A and B are shown apart, each in its own frame.
Chain A
Amino acid sequence: MLTIENINVNYHHAVQVLKGFSLTVNQGEITALLGANGAGKTTVLKAASGLLGLENGHIEDGQIQLDGVSILKTKPHMLARNGLVHVREGRRIFAEMSVEDNLTAASYALTGRHKKADYQQVYDFFPRLKERSKQLAGLLSGGEQQMLAIGRAILAQPKLILLDEPSLGLAPKIVDEIFEIVRRINQEQGVSMLLVEQNAAAAFRVAHQGYILENGKVVLEGSIDELKQNKDIQTFYLGMGEHQDASSFRDVKHYKRRKRWLN
């Protein structure tokens, strides 16, 4: 579905953020991308959705393909119209527009696809949005705003959703609710996803494959079942084991472990 091969990314031709980064999202699967703050997770998503150029970010080497076609030069709106939708970090709903108008804005992704915007489908996933459809989106609660952000993506009838930290700042109960919807979108609609998360436990519940990013490099990758067995993951990402106070993966000699997964 989505393959990123060996990309180097910098901002302003100065700060090198991704170094030889590669990742694959398989058709119909959810791939989780985990990593500490500033590791470069959002940068990966912006590289795929074409937003990097707007922030003076540059992909120097490597290749990004959607269904085998290079998308390095494709404009963001054309990517959305080709089924690649980016749900951005911090939700980025249009606060001064009604919930319904937010969804209408998303219907532009259907341009040229002979598909009709299915508002009811979004409201079926998120009944709470239906009740508030005429309300200004800025007045929604944080959880509802995240639902709207995902709702916009559903309305765009994508084949791939890039989902950036949907759990950010939400209560555990809402996080569960949202991840349940994420799972349903994946299973019922067959939508593939690249899921960026800090909340590894939540991500592991829905994902099939996982990548761990540190300082712009992949340090671990594998199926979720494999990752769950990994001692360091258990310690640093799932909060199990005795090193609970250690905060960064950096302290560990991770290259050895990386080798283990790559061999």
Chain B
Amino acid sequence: MGQVMQYLLNGTMNGALYALIAVGIVSIFKSTKVVSFAHGHVIMFGAYFYFTFAVILPGAEFMPDWVAKWEPEWLLAYKEGAMMFSPKAAIAAWVSNLPRIVLGLVGSIICNALLAVVIERLFMRPLLGQSSLSMILCTVGLIWVLEGSASLIWSADIDQVPALGPNFPIRFQLFGDQVFLFSASVVNFVIALLLFAALMLVLRFTRSGVAIRATAEDQSTAYAMGINVPAVFTSAWVVAATTGAVAGAILASRNGLSPTLGLFGLSVLAVVLMGGLDSFAGVFIAAMIIGIMEAFTQWKFGGEYAEIVPYVLVLVVILWRPNGLLGQAEIERI
């Protein structure tokens, strides 16, 4: 029994990451009615951009040394005598990585935003007014374009990328259970939640949020009321790609960099379908359920089952509610 809390926590943290990935798919779908099958590969690009700006670039000849390894006097003094794996040592290591972490994040967010603009302008905009099916198929084609170009661009050996937060083990008691976490996972979890929450707040309470919601509900009427709908489309892709850049950085630091990242992102599409393509709340709930289910199956039945059982659940939910947990019935026709 003793490990329930442990797996619940693991599952919740994975769930938050799924939610962060799913946010991109939902925001694109809500405003453009396009299901982006390429979102996983956009995330993969984010991960590679993070690698480029946090590892390759700081190591380049022309970069000052402090970008790769920042060691001011006070930091050396601080870590003096710190034990290996101690929080102190981990924090010191993180601080000296901080310049390249920041560079990596900023770089991957900007590059991914540009990538989104290019995709939207080049592949989506010309199809505006056509059926959304043709746009959806276009995103499927994008998978191969992105995968192919990634392997052309990043042929060099892949190194470890720095985690976004300091990484040390944490042990504590939770409802009588002994639990164990890595601090980096906690930081990732908090980042994912904050991004998700920030997006919800913008959508709910800002004027731009009104324009996005209006477009989501009725594109042509929003357009006729003075809302620049094509610009809303572009911003939906940019939101997806930038949250995807952060997700990519997290995934790369957690699981390492590889082209399979794209497929991982694709599997989150199942979470989105379960929650309801057009519902942020539904998708958040679904992400948590899947995360926790996965953790518990892993615990009880082992890793092979962890890849299957949650998706069986997705199928069951979709059979029971074809539009997902909180999805709107109207989207059935797409």
**A residues touching B (Cβ–Cβ < 8 Å)?**
49-51, 53-56, 75-77, 79-81, 85-86, 88, 92, 94-97, 101-102, 104-111, 152, 156
B230: nearest residue on chain A (CB-CB)?
A: A75
* 7 pairs of A and B residues whose beta carbons are closest in the complex: A109-B226, A80-B226, A108-B226, A105-B214, A76-B223, A92-B221, A108-B227
Interface string of B213-235 (1 = CB under 8 A from A): 11001111111111111000000
- Shortest CB distance B249–A (Å): 34
Q: Is B300 an interface residue (CB 8 A)?
A: no
Given A92-B218, A95-B217, residue A54 in contact with residue B223 (CB < 8 A) = yes
Whether B129 pairs with A105 at a CB distance below 8 angstroms is no
Q: Is B207 an interface residue (CB 8 A)?
A: yes
Given A53-B129, A56-B129, A92-B218, residue A101 in contact with residue B227 (CB < 8 A) = no
**19 more A-B residue pairs beyond the given contacts A53-B129, A96-B213, A111-B226, with a C-beta to C-beta distance below 8 A:** A50-B224, A54-B220, A75-B223, A77-B223, A77-B224, A77-B225, A80-B226, A81-B226, A85-B225, A94-B214, A94-B222, A97-B213, A105-B222, A106-B226, A107-B226, A108-B228, A109-B226, A152-B225, A156-B225
Whether B217 pairs with A51 at a CB distance below 8 angstroms is no
- Shortest CB distance A213–B (Å): 21
Whether B217 pairs with A106 at a CB distance below 8 angstroms is no
Q: Would you mind naming 15 contact pairs between A and B with Cβ atoms under 8 Å apart?
A: A50-B224, A51-B220, A51-B223, A55-B220, A56-B129, A75-B223, A76-B224, A77-B223, A92-B218, A94-B218, A97-B210, A105-B214, A106-B225, A109-B225, A109-B226
Chain A residues, Cβ within 8 Å of B225:
77, 80, 85, 105-106, 108-109, 152, 156
B131: nearest residue on chain A (CB-CB)?
A: A56
A117: nearest residue on chain B (CB-CB)?
A: B207
Chain A residues, Cβ within 8 Å of B224:
49-51, 76-77, 79-80, 85-86, 88
Whether B226 pairs with A156 at a CB distance below 8 angstroms is yes
Q: Give Cα A55 to B221, complex, Å.
A: 12
Whether A105 pairs with B223 at a CB distance below 8 angstroms is no
Q: Give Cα A81 to B231, complex, Å.
A: 15
Chain A residues, Cβ within 8 Å of B207:
104, 107
Q: Is B191 an interface residue (CB 8 A)?
A: no
Q: Give Cα A225 to B150, complex, Å.
A: 72
**B residues touching A (Cβ–Cβ < 8 Å)?**
129, 207, 210-211, 213-214, 217-229
Chain A residues, Cβ within 8 Å of B228:
77, 108
Q: Give Cα A81 to B221, complex, Å.
A: 14
Chain B residues, Cβ within 8 Å of A110:
226
B225: nearest residue on chain A (CB-CB)?
A: A106
- Shortest CB distance A180–B (Å): 24
A104: nearest residue on chain B (CB-CB)?
A: B210
Q: Give Cα A152 to B214, complex, Å.
A: 13
- Shortest CB distance B259–A (Å): 38
B223: nearest residue on chain A (CB-CB)?
A: A76
Q: Give Cα A20 to B281, complex, Å.
A: 51
- Shortest CB distance B25–A (Å): 20
- Shortest CB distance B323–A (Å): 15
- Shortest CB distance B129–A (Å): 6
Whether B213 pairs with A94 at a CB distance below 8 angstroms is yes
Q: Give Cα A231 to B314, complex, Å.
A: 66
- Shortest CB distance B203–A (Å): 11
Q: Give Cα A49 to B219, complex, Å.
A: 14
Q: Give Cα A240 to B226, complex, Å.
A: 42
Q: Give Cα A106 to B211, complex, Å.
A: 9
Q: Give Cα A51 to B221, complex, Å.
A: 9
